[in-house]
Amino acid sequence: MSEPLVLGIETSCDETGIGIVRGNTLLANVIASSVSQHAEFGGVVPEVASRAHLSAIIPALNEACSQAGIKLNDVDAIAVTHGPGLVGSLLVGVATAKGLAVSLNKPIYAVNHLAAHVSVDQIEHGEFTEPLIALLVSGGHSSVLKVGNIASDITPLGATLDDAAGEAFDKIARVLGLGFPGGPEIDALAKTGNKDAIEFPRGLSKSTDLARYPYDFSFSGLKTAVARWVQSNPSANLADVAASFQEAVVEVLVTKSMAACKDSGIETLLIGGGVAANSRLRQMAQEKATERGLQLRIPRAGLCTDNGAMVASLGASLLREGIQPSKLQFSVDSGLDVQEISDRV
pLDDT at 100 over 60: yes
Specify the higher pLDDT residue, 2 or 200.
Answer: 200
pLDDT at 338 over 80: yes
| Percent of the chain with pLDDT strictly greater than 90 | 95
pLDDT tens, 177-205? Answer: 999 999 999 999 999 999 999 999 999 99
pLDDT tens, 49-79? Answer: 999 999 999 999 999 999 999 999 999 999 9
Provide the pLDDT confidence category of residue 345 given band limits of 50, 70 and 90: low
DSSP state of 307: -
Chain-wide mean pLDDT for the chain?
Answer: 96
Q: What is the DSSP string of 5-24?
A: EEEEEE-SSSEEEEEEEETT
Decide: 43 and 167 in contact? Cβ < 8 Å.
no
What pLDDT sits at residue 201? Answer: 97
Residues forming beta bridges with residue 149, ordered by sequence position: 153
Decide: 225 and 170 in contact? Cβ < 8 Å.
no
Decide: 3 and 23 in contact? Cβ < 8 Å.
yes
Maximum distance among all alpha carbons in the chain?
64
Radius of gyration of the chain (CA): 20
Q: Which domains occur in the chain, in start order?
A: 5-120+307-343 (3.30.420.40), 131-299 (3.30.420.40)
pLDDT at 281 over 90: yes
Provide the pLDDT confidence category of residue 140 given band limits of 50, 70 and 90: confident
Residues forming beta bridges with residue 158, ordered by sequence position: 144
Quick one: which of 217, 112, 125 has its CA closest to 154? Answer: 112
What pLDDT sits at residue 13? Answer: 94
pLDDT at 344 over 90: no
pLDDT at 1 over 70: no
pLDDT at 145 over 70: yes
Pairing of the two strands 77-83 and 5-10: parallel
Q: What is the DSSP string of 122-185?
A: HHHH----S-EEEEEE-SS-EEEEEEEETTTEEEEEEEBSS--HHHHHHHHHHHTT--SSHHHH
